[in-house]
């Protein structure tokens, strides 16, 4: 009974913290300029992140995938329960 509520609360907390951490990590990288003759302008800019932020982003990506799987599972449960309700409440069971 309380499991969907916990999923919503923790999912919301993880998504909000994920947006905060990812936006923070995208703003603090070190910009490295690499000379290249293959690129127009001759300079390539690469953003280098610390291993700490790469670890946090990868963990949050796994959590985001888990939350998406829970949403997909919830939608499939809704579709199955809807089809069972349609079957149960019809008067002619052989027509469904």
The pLDDT tens digits for 54-70 are: 887 788 788 878 877 88
What pLDDT is attached to residue 41?
A: 82
pLDDT score at 67: 79
What the block records as the tokens of 67 is 């939350």
Separation of alpha carbons 53 and 29, rounded Å: 9
pLDDT score of 25:
66
Asked if 48 contacts 83 with a C-beta cutoff of 8 angstroms, the reply is no
Tell me how far apart the alpha carbons of residues 32 and 51 are, in angstroms, rounded to a whole number: 16
Q: Which residues of the chain have pLDDT under 70?
A: 1-4, 7, 25-26, 93, 95-96
Q: What is the pLDDT of residue 2?
A: 63
| φ and ψ of 34, to 5 deg | -115, 130
| Domain of 34, in residue numbers | 3-95
Compute the distance between CA of residue 24 and CA of residue 52 in angstroms, rounded to an integer. Answer: 12
Three-class SS state of 30: strand
- Encoded tokens for 14: 């993880």
Domain count, the chain: 1
So what's the pLDDT on residue 96?
58
């Amino acid at each position: 009974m309380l499991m969907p509520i916990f999923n919503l609360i923790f999912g919301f907390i993880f998504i909000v913290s994920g947006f905060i951490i990812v936006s923070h990590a995208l703003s603090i990288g070190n910009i490295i300029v690499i000379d290249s003759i293959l690129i127009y302008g001759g300079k390539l800019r690469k953003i280098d992140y610390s291993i700490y932020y790469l670890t946090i982003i990868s963990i949050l990506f796994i959590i985001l995938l888990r939350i998406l799987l829970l949403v997909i599972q919830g939608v499939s449960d809704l579709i199955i329960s809807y089809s069972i309700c349609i079957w149960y409440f019809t008067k002619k069971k052989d027509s469904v």
